[in-house]
């Protein structure tokens, strides 16, 4: 799951990064990316612990509301001076962000976290393959699908069909999120677009959360856990990713974010006791390899076009 969700690779709009020379800066950037990705996946694992009390919809509503409040407080976005097209893009961005979170949390309520992220990552991976329009991209897609097939064939608790379908839906929303995030970043300065989009996501999620969980969402313990999940899943990774993008090329950043399925499997094992068998580890490795390969192929093509 990306940091906005899940909610795994987040391409936030930021000022032009200050490039550090290779060496300590690059190594520090790698550490920042990995720390942010770990924070996101462990936030998802802790969110699953809250499901018995607040439900999946209640948990995602708490995370979205707290994340929106934090972003609005930090960025204080300027709301005037934008066209209807700008508002259409940022609203679509928010709907995609909210839908991605809702579908993903519903998925991890039914299947293990590692499996959910492994299936979900097919969305941005296939988007990258489609954008490349190269035969090599089909090989990466085939490798990823082989990994998902192996995952389904393994003893991963006989994956719930609805859970897999919800993860696929979250992956589709993740792909839409990536496209709309880039467009919103071109229309809104700094993190203004993300703050507005997160507010839209909160407005989408909150009625569903209230309908599913009601007054439970106001219990102090539930509120405290919801705030912690929002900070771990949004506040910490956004900050770390912005710092990392000042030290690393965007292509390197994207490849590192391809580790999301492996980190999710680790978080599921450590927090939720969702152990992995050798075939499951092989399945996750195939998807990670395919995702990283597709990202590298896409970045090389972008460099050729810009050159």
pLDDT tens by residue, 190-236: 788 889 999 999 999 999 999 999 999 999 999 999 999 999 998 88
Question: How many domains does the chain contain in total?
Answer: 1
pLDDT tens digits along 85-99: 999 999 999 999 999
pLDDT tens digits along 100-141: 999 999 999 999 898 898 888 888 777 777 766 666 667 777
Using 50, 70 and 90 to split pLDDT, how confident is the model at 300?
low
pLDDT for position 17: 42
pLDDT for position 61: 96
pLDDT tens digits along 236-252: 887 787 777 677 776 67
pLDDT tens digits along 141-163: 787 778 777 776 665 556 788 99
Is there a domain that residue 224 lies in? yes
Whole domain around residue 73: which residue ranges? Answer: 24-306
- Residue 134 CA, chain-centre distance (Å), reads 26
Task: Tell me which of 303 and 269 has the higher pLDDT.
Answer: 269
Q: What are phi and psi of 203, to 5 degrees?
A: -65, -30
pLDDT for position 281: 83
pLDDT tens digits along 270-285: 999 888 778 878 888 8
pLDDT for position 243: 78
In terms of Cβ atoms closer than 10 Å to its own Cβ (0-12, 13-18, 19+), residue 24 is exposed
Compute the distance between CA of residue 95 and CA of residue 69 in angstroms, rounded to an integer: 17
pLDDT for position 154: 61
* Average of per-residue pLDDT across 40-68: 94
Residues whose CB is less than 8 angstroms from the CB of residue 63 and which lie 6 or more positions away in sequence, other chains included: 43, 47, 101, 226, 229, 230, 233, 234
pLDDT for position 238: 79
Mean pLDDT, the chain, integer = 82
Query: In this structure, are residues 307 and 146 in contact, taking their beta carbons and an 8 Å threshold?
Result: no
Is there a domain that residue 18 lies in? no
Is there a domain that residue 82 lies in? yes
User: What is the share, in percent, of the chain residues with pLDDT greater than 70?
Assistant: 81
What pTM, to 2 d.p., does this model score?
0.81
pLDDT at 15 over 50: no
Q: Helix or strand or coil: residue 17?
A: coil
């Amino acid at each position: 799951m990306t940091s906005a969700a899940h909610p795994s690779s987040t391409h936030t709009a930021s000022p032009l990064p200050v490039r550090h020379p290779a060496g300590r800066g690059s190594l520090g950037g790698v550490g920042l990316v990995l720390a942010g990705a770990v924070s996101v996946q462990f936030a998802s694992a802790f969110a699953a612990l809250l499901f018995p009390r607040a439900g999946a919809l209640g948990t995602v509503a708490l995370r979205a509301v707290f994340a929106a409040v934090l972003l609005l407080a930090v960025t204080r976005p300027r709301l005037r001076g934008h066209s209807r097209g700008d508002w259409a893009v940022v609203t679509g961005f928010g709907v995609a962000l909210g839908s991605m979170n809702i579908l993903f949390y519903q998925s991890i309520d039914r299947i293990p976290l590692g499996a959910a992220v492994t299936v979900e990552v097919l969305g941005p991976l296939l988007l990258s393959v489609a954008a490349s329009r190269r035969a090599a991209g089909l090989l990466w897609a085939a490798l990823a699908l082989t990994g998902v097939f192996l995952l389904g064939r393994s003893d991963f608790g006989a994956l719930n069909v609805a859970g897999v379908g919800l993860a696929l839906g979250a992956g589709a929303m993740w792909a839409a999120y990536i496209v709309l995030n880039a467009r919103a970043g071109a229309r809104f300065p700094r993190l203004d677009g993300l703050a507005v989009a997160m507010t839209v996501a909160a407005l989408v999620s909150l009625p569903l959360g209230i309908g599913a969980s009601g007054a439970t969402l106001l219990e102090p313990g539930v509120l405290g856990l919801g705030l912690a999940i929002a900070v771990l899943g949004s506040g910490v990774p956004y900050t770390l990713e912005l710092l990392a993008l000042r030290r690393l090329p965007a292509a390197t950043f994207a490849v590192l974010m391809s580790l999301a399925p492996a980190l999710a499997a680790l978080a599921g094992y450590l927090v939720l006791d969702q152990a992995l068998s050798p075939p499951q580890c092989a399945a996750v490795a195939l998807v990670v390899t395919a995702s990283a390969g597709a990202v590298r192929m896409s970045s090389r093509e972008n460099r050729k076009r810009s050159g």
